[in-house]
């Protein structure tokens, strides 16, 4: 079973489109869309385990230029 998560992203002003495009090109990201509200981009990602997911968020997603803050919300199956 894979671990899935939503990554809520805040960006610099005017950077949401480029951040969404860069995120969607990242391995493990299944969806990246610009949104309105307190976050600018929401990403759906998946990985083999929680450690791999954390490494992807820190090493790949947070490295995208224009991101100011992320909040990772793992999906739970209740």
CA distance 53 to 26: 12
Laid out side by side, the sheet with 3-11 consists of 29-34, 41-47, 3-11, 67-74
Q: What is the pTM of this model?
A: 0.94
Domains and CATH numbers, the chain: 3-74 (3.30.70.920)
* pLDDT, one tens digit for every residue, the chain (78 residues): 799 999 999 999 999 999 999 999 999 999 999 999 999 999 999 999 999 999 999 999 999 999 999 999 999 988
CA distance 39 to 11: 8
Whether the Cβ atoms of residue 8 and residue 44 lie closer than 8 Å to each other: no
12 token code pair:
């610099």
């Amino acid at each position: 079973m894979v671990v899935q998560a939503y990554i809520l992203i805040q960006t610099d002003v005017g950077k949401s489109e480029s951040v969404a495009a860069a995120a969607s090109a990242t391995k493990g990201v299944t969806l990246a869309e610009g949104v309105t509200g307190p976050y600018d981009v929401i990403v759906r990602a998946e990985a083999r385990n929680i450690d791999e997911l954390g490494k992807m968020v820190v090493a790949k997603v947070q490295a995208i230029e224009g991101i100011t803050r992320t909040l990772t919300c793992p999906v739970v199956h209740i």
